[in-house]
Structure 1
Amino acid sequence: MIKRADELRVEYSPNLKGGKETVKIINILENEDNYGTGRLFGVSIIPVGGSIGKHRHDGDFETYYILKGKARVNDNGNEQILGPGDMTGCKDGDYHAIENIGDCDLEYIAVILYTQQKQQ
């Protein structure tokens, strides 16, 4: 499979999970491409001052890998500052949030995988 940049589906999610501003999500894989193993593999872009609000993962887990910018991450109550090359993971049953506290767009790879494979 090959997909060109202009073939990738882009979503715009205002106030995602109660956060601020509009998050842009570039979907690298669609649900039908992941063989029932997860529901997101994409690049998320949060504008300056924007955020994704605190939310819990049930039945899945999420990993962020920071590509660009500066993030404040709430990892189950533990707040940390992350930058390019850093990662954070939210386990099944835990919660997290992310906020762009830098002076440019925050860009990161986001992957959400199921804790048990779903039937297609």
Structure 2
Amino acid sequence: MIRKNNEKETVRKPAPFNGVGEITVRSLLNGPEEMSQKGRVFGHTTVYPNSEIGYHIHTGDSETYYILSGTGRYNDNGTLVTVSAGDVTYCAPGEGHGLACIGDEPIEMIALILYE
């Protein structure tokens, strides 16, 4: 399978999990069917300045962020850590996380959610 850039599903929407502002999600793979039933999200996400993906707990899956650009405040189970380009975050099943864009530049990241 090859998905050309202009074939990706792109959605700009309110930040999830009672977050603030907006995000854009570009689906790199479209759900479990394209991920061998091992995950549900593989996407390129933009978190805009003054926007935040709200804190949430993962049940039955894990989530990894690979930060491409921008600066954020990552909530790792209640511990706040500044993240920037090149950093990787991991939220295991049963744990929680959130991410706020704290710079003037949007956060660009790859998000991957895999089933437990």
Mark yes or no: TM-score above 0.5: yes
The aligned residue for residue 48 of structure 2 is 47
- State the 4+ residue runs in structure 1 displaced beyond 3 angstroms: none
Compute the TM-score of the two structures, normalised by the length of structure 1: 0.93
Which structure features the higher share of strand residues?
A: 2
Q: CA deviation at 1:3?
A: 1.0
Where structure 1 has 5 or more consecutive residues not aligned to the other structure, the ranges are 116-120
Where structure 2 has 5 or more consecutive residues not aligned to the other structure, the ranges are none
CA distance in 1, matches of 2:106, 2:80: 20
1:1-120 matches, cutoff 5 A = 1-31=1-31, 32-115=33-116
Q: CA deviation at 1:22?
A: 1.2
Identity among equivalent positions (%) equals 38
- Aligned-pair Cα RMSD in Å: 0.7
CA distance in 2, matches of 1:14, 1:88: 22
CA distance in 1, matches of 2:49, 2:92: 27
